[in-house]
Structure 1
Amino acid sequence: MTSTVDRPILFLDVDGPLIPFGSSEGRLRAAVPDSPTSFDHGNPLLDRLDPGVGPRLLTLGCPLVWATTWLEDANEAVAPRLGLPTLPVVEWPDSGADDVPRGLHWKTRPLVEWSDGRPFIWVDDEIGATDRVWVAAQHPGASLLHRVDPTKGLVDADFSALAAWLDAVGAG
């Protein structure tokens, strides 16, 4: 059996994949924690979280890592609503956009560095062709850069694609 330490890392963005930008009608309202923090109190976007996504992410068996500008706030406001534990957070470098090659997402290089050669999945709504080419050339391990439709967030087809990739790389 493959341990979680050997499984690919799953880098997870919040806005778009977990908080869709489309209509929140028809989405389940997340359970509100017993003692809301001042950060999340009254944030209407958090009502767009689907509490069923957390268990589905955990079922993938990958170590989850926040790859979001929410930083530690994702652990305080998002994780409890999804039933996720406190997760590690990628700390973004202070360098400016001038350091990023044209067309490359500003998260791409830090995620490859953070993975340190380990296989990874990156779930985000802003992944492009340049990111895929750059990662293929710069990252020695297997990787899946999975773009989520930001109007829908993570849906069944996304989870199927993630599980299929994990099976294909022998981590399933």
Structure 2
Amino acid sequence: MSASDGRPVVFVDIDGVLIPFRARPAAAGRQRSGSALDGPDCYGNPLLDRLDPDDGGRLLALPGELVWASTWMAEANEVVAPRLGLPALPVVDWIDDDEDPPSGVHWKTASVARWAAERPFVWLDDEITDADRRWVAAHHPHPALLHRVDPHVGLTDLDLAVVRRWLDHGEQTA
């Protein structure tokens, strides 16, 4: 867990959010710079080409503390962050528990809520359901926006507009 700077936490998943299941139309027209970070097999993952470098700036523009909430763990900072122009971000440590979450609740949900502790938070993930929203509402004492990103298209301007609106206006009343 990170020391609180008072801002809401913005948890970001990678697969399905920053790396969509389908190639982004804009990716086909992007020129490769030829840097060591640009090869599709640089890290053995050809899907890294689906990252949109503009996502880094769009995420940094949000008024919250960005935190990786991904199974990429520390590799998010080694592989994904540089491609997006992001600094190294804190990473959620997943609860290592033999107990299964309640029916329909994502295995990440309790860890995300625990990491946020006494702060409002946004969670961008492609597997969020109403069961997760209900669980967070019952177990987290502060406002939270659990926003599901369509995994086929990844993070969009519309997704970020919803998050921005909530951070600017909704976190006090959500």
- Note closer, same or farther for the CA distance 1:139–1:40 as it changes in structure 2 (3 Å cut): farther
Q: CA deviation at 1:61?
A: 2.5
Deviates more, 1:161-170 or 1:10-19: 161-170
Tell me what 1:65 maps to: 67
The residue identity in structure 1 corresponding to 2:11 is F
Check whether the contact 2:10–2:124 (CA below 8 A) recurs between aligned residues: yes
Unaligned runs of 5+ in 1: none
What aligned pairs does 1:112-127 form with structure 2 within 5 A after superposition? 112-127=113-128
Measure the CA separation in 1 of the matches of 2:124 and 2:71.
Answer: 14
The CA deviation string for residues 68-94 of structure 1, in whole angstroms up to 9 with x for no partner, is: 000000000000000000001011122
Q: Which residue does the alignment assign to 1:85?
A: 87
The number of residue pairs the alignment matches comes to 166
TM-score between both structures, scaled by the size of structure 1: 0.87
Task: Summarize the Cα distance change of 1:91–1:170 in structure 2 as closer, same or farther, 3 Å threshold.
Answer: closer
Contact 1:31-1:81 within 8 A present in 2 as well: no
Quick one: structure 1 residues 35 and 78, their matched pair in 2 at CA, closer, same or farther if it must change by over 3 Å? closer
Q: How does 1:94-113 map to 2 (within 5 A)?
A: 94-96=96-98, 98-113=99-114
* 1:17-54 Cα shifts (integer Å, max 9, x gaps): 10000134432467665468xx9434211000000000
Structure 2 contact 20–153 (Cα < 8 Å) conserved: yes
Distance 1:60 1:32, change over 3 A: farther
Q: Identity of paired residues, percent? A: 52
**Is contact 2:37–2:83 with CA below 8 Å preserved after alignment?**
no
- The equivalences for 1:1-172 within 5 A come to 5-27=5-27, 28=30, 34=36, 40-96=42-98, 98-169=99-170
Partner SS, residue 26 of structure 1: helix
Q: Secondary structure at the match of 1:103?
A: coil
TM-score by length of 2: 0.86
Distance in 1 of aligned mates of 2:149 and 2:141: 24
3-state DSSP of counterpart to 2:145: strand
CA contact (8 A) 1:12 1:66 kept: yes
Aligned residues: CA RMSD: 2.3
Distance 1:144 1:30, change over 3 A: farther
Separation in 2, partners of 1:104, 1:151 = 22
